[in-house]
């Protein structure tokens, strides 16, 4: 038993995430992080971006979500089952891209404004305004030739639909 997420993720074969005495998800650490089964687990394990929206269309392993500000995005439906259902889309900051060549041809890209860039050595933590949220984060590798971003700059961001999870609203 630990309250240290780093310790739990690095030292365990399986981790149970509890909320009010109930197991929310029991899984290997990578599965908890990459494929949370509900909004509580997504918010509890690691950092993530949250976008509120409504399911516009469900088709197999892809959901089309209309955000509260009107944009359309792609996500993987996890525990949403019908058109019109409210959802909280969870996207890990390291899965957000701003280079179109890194995105699938059919991925929806949405407008973003760079708010600030925090140099963290191996990565740059970029805070963006996306779909009405000023707390949307993108982590990009600090590599030679990395595109320089500036506060106030307008860009488009997107992700692979498999990296955005349409979960129950909180």
Kindly provide the residue ranges of all beta strands, DSSP E only, lying in 20-163, ordered along the sequence: 22-27, 49-59, 62-67, 72-77, 86-91, 110-119, 123-130, 133-141, 154-157
Coil/strand/helix, residue 162: helix
pLDDT score at 1:
61
Determine contact, residues 65/87, Cβ cutoff 8 Å. yes
Which residues does 133 contact at the CB level (< 8 Å), separation at least 6? 49, 50, 51
Give 115-150 pLDDT, tens digit per residue.
Answer: 999 999 999 999 999 999 999 999 999 998 888 999
Give 19-40 pLDDT, tens digit per residue.
Answer: 999 999 999 988 988 888 988 9
pTM tops 0.95: no
> Tokens representing 96?
């957000």
pLDDT band at 93, cuts 50/70/90?
very high
């Amino acid at each position: 038993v630990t309250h240290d997420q780093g310790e739990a993720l690095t030292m365990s074969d399986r981790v149970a995430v509890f909320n009010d005495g109930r197991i929310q998800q029991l899984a290997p650490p990578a599965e908890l992080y990459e494929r949370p089964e509900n909004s509580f687990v997504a918010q509890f394990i690691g950092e993530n971006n949250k976008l509120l929206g409504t399911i516009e269309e469900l088709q197999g392993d892809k959901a089309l979500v209309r955000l509260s500000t009107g944009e359309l995005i792609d996500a993987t439906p996890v525990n949403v089952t019908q058109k019109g259902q409210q959802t909280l889309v969870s996207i890990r900051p390291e899965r957000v891209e701003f280079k179109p060549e890194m995105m699938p041809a059919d991925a929806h890209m949405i407008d973003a404004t760079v708010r600030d860039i925090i140099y963290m050595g191996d990565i740059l933590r970029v805070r963006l305004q996306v779909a009405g949220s000023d707390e949307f984060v993108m982590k990009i590798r600090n590599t030679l030739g990395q595109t320089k971003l500036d506060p106030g700059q307008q860009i488009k961001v997107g992700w692979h639909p498999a990296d955005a999870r349409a979960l129950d609203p909180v």
